[in-house]
């Protein structure tokens, strides 16, 4: 009876009435099992070809993250319309099935051209998700084609589509086209600005990002966090802290992401007081329930020299992931507490946590600091054989450090020469440093030759070799090295140091007198030098 009425007005009315009866049930559906029961009733009433109901069921599958069932629902449609196409494309995109989304989009375009098929054209709700799929796949060329199609069909002025285009271009490192879309926009919102700023920060173009940030009419927590993360990415940690403070001054409270983003800056600068404030703030806001924030705090305390505070926080963690263990093991190793780091690694194994490459960097470093070179070689094999982790150049660097400290310079050199990748300057510099300690001129010359190939303008390498010659009493060689430095006009990189005073990190560079309080600092240093000289005189008289 129902089928006989489908082509008539009365039939369409009855179908619509039946469809509407399912809407409340679908709206209240919270489990995939419930959806399947509703679907069974829909099939029983011969409504499985209803684009209206299928679209709503596909949207529910999207909420449940069940892409497979969404696909089954869509594929049963003989004549899907633009709404059902949009629903399935949206579901694929949100669940990171970008290739499937693009395939369905192309199928929609093909069906619209085939004879006998009702033409289906994409609308302004189709393109944002198709563009997002291009972003996920980094398909720049296809993104350009879709952009051209959008302009041709007149959907260019839709802000959601324009924001998706900016996001796609920035992720594909095409900032030129991203700026063109941005400049042609009629209504720019915070998403437009944030996407463009993020594109510059991803490429390390912080000056351009800062210009956009300063021009931005309304900044959100996302804007501030993007700038903090960008500065940290290019190691401009002082700028990251400045942005963090400025954000608070304008009345924006840090959230979990901004706190996690700024903690590496505290760790690298030794800004312990700021780090402690973040710890208290996170505790007050309930952020410490998040393992990621606790891991960042553990790293901050460890790098700021407060290894006991780091250990205390680590012990309080309810859920420890591999990052938690790796951070703590590395922190103990860097503080010379190698045996404790190795014991902690053994606890990790008992807890059945699978270590990663960073974990083993900490373990190898711990063995090096503890003088356990045999154990270090054993753990290197455990990493490769038991956990199937392919050693990277940093792991080989740890082995060079391990063997160098133990005086096994021949073995260290042999390992460097047999590495599966080309040794970098840090590895050769490490070997050269140990040659000075153990006064091995023969291997030092080999290391120096390699360093000259990699870093011909680095003054530290020449100075280190000159020091080795000096300690061996080869003064003529020392003189030759100094002449070589002068002839190449190599300049020594000035040393610098950081100190935190009243929650502000100050950087001092050797010979720099540009700071307004420089004269006061030099005067105090002279007073301290005089005081030290007087103490030395008194000791000699005594």
Confirm whether 303 is domain-assigned: yes
pLDDT band at 64 (very low <50, low <70, confident <90, very high): very high
Average pLDDT over residues 53-77: 94
Domain total of the chain: 2
Residue in this structure with the two tokens 């061996």, named with its chain if needed: 472
Q: What is the reported pLDDT for 2? A: 43
Determine contact, residues 401/365, Cβ cutoff 8 Å: yes
pLDDT band at 6 (very low <50, low <70, confident <90, very high): very low
Task: Quote the CA–CA distance of 86 and 124 in Å, as a whole number.
Answer: 10
Which of 273, 303, 319 is where one domain is finished?
319
DSSP-derived letter for residue 289 is: G
71-98 in b/e burial notation, b at 16+ Cβ within 10 A? bebbeebeebebbbbbbbbbbbbebebb
pLDDT at 3 over 50: no
Confirm whether 241 is domain-assigned: yes
pTM for this entry: 0.79
Determine contact, residues 61/53, Cβ cutoff 8 Å: no
pLDDT tens for 299-351 read 999 999 999 999 999 999 989 999 999 999 999 999 999 999 999 999 999 99
Confirm whether 542 is domain-assigned: yes
pLDDT tens for 424-463 read 989 998 998 898 888 888 898 888 878 878 877 666 677 7
Confirm whether 178 is domain-assigned: no
Half-sphere exposure of 418 toward its Cβ, with a 13 Å CA cutoff? Answer: 8
Which residues, at least 6 apart from 151, have a Cβ–Cβ distance to it below 8 Å? none
Confirm whether 337 is domain-assigned: no
Task: Quote the CA–CA distance of 233 and 420 in Å, as a whole number.
Answer: 29
Confirm whether 266 is domain-assigned: yes
pLDDT band at 21 (very low <50, low <70, confident <90, very high): confident
Confirm whether 128 is domain-assigned: no
Domain that holds residue 527: 512-542
Which of 256, 289, 319 is where one domain is finished?
319
Confirm whether 491 is domain-assigned: no
Which of 297, 319, 341 is where one domain is finished?
319
Helix or strand holding residue 462 (H, E):
helix 459-471
């Amino acid at each position: 009876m129902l089928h006989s009425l489908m082509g008539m007005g009365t039939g369409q009315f009855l179908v619509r009435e039946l469809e509407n009866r399912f809407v409340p049930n679908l709206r209240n559906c919270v489990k995939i099992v419930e959806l399947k029961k509703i679907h069974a009733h829909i099939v029983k009433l011969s409504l499985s070809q209803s684009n209206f109901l299928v679209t709503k069921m596909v949207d529910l599958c999207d909420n449940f993250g069940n892409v497979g069932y969404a696909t089954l629902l869509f594929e049963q449609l003989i004549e899907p319309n633009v709404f059902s196409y949009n629903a399935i494309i949206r579901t694929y995109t949100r669940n990171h099935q970008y290739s499937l989304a693009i395939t369905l989009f192309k199928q929609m375009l093909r069906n619209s051209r085939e004879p006998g098929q009702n033409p289906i054209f994409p609308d302004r709700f189709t393109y944002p998700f198709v563009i997002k799929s291009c972003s996920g796949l980094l398909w720049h060329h296809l993104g350009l084609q879709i952009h051209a199609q959008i302009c041709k069909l007149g959907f260019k002025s839709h802000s959601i589509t324009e924001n998706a285009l900016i996001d796609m271009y920035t992720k594909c490192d095409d900032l030129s086209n991203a700026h063109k879309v941005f400049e042609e926009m009629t209504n720019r919102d915070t998403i437009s600005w944030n996407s463009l700023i993020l594109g510059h920060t991803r490429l390390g173009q912080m000056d351009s990002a800062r210009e956009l940030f300063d021009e931005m009419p309304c900044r959100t927590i996302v804007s501030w966090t993007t700038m903090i993360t960008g500065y940290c990415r290019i190691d401009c940690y002082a700028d990251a802290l400045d942005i963090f403070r400025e954000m608070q001054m304008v009345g924006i409270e840090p959230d979990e992401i901004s706190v996690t983003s700024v903690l590496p800056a505290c760790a690298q600068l030794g800004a312990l007081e700021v780090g402690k404030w973040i710890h208290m703030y996170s505790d007050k806001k309930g952020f410490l329930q998040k393992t990621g924030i606790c891991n960042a705090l553990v790293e901050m305390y460890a790098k700021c020299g407060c290894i006991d505070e780091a250990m205390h926080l680590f012990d309080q963690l309810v859920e420890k992931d591999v990052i938690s263990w790796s951070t703590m093991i590395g922190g103990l190793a860097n503080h010379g507490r190698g045996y404790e780091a190795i014991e902690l690694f053994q606890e990790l194994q008992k807890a059945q946590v699978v270590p990663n490459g960073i974990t083993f960097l900490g373990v190898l470093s711990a063995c090096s600091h503890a003088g356990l070179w045999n154990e270090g070689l054993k753990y290197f094999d455990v990493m490769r054989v038991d956990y199937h982790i392919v050693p990277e150049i940093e792991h080989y660097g740890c082995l060079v450090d391990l063997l160098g400290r133990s005086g096994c310079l021949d073995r260290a050199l042999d390992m460097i020469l047999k590495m599966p990748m080309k040794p970098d300057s840090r590895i050769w510099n490490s070997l050269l440093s140990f040659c000075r300690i153990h006064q091995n001129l023969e291997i030092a010359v080999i290391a120096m030759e390699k360093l000259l190939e990699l870093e011909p303008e680095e003054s530290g390498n020449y100075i280190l070799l000159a020091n080795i010659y000096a300690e061996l009493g080869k003064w003529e060689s020392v003189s030759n090295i100094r002449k070589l430095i002068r002839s190449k006009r190599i300049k020594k990189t000035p040393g610098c140091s950081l100190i935190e005073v009243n929650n502000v990190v100050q950087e001092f560079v050797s010979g720099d007198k540009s700071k307004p309080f420089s004269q006061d600092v030099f005067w105090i240093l002279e007073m301290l030098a005089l005081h030290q000289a007087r103490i030395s005189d008194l000791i000699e008289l005594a």
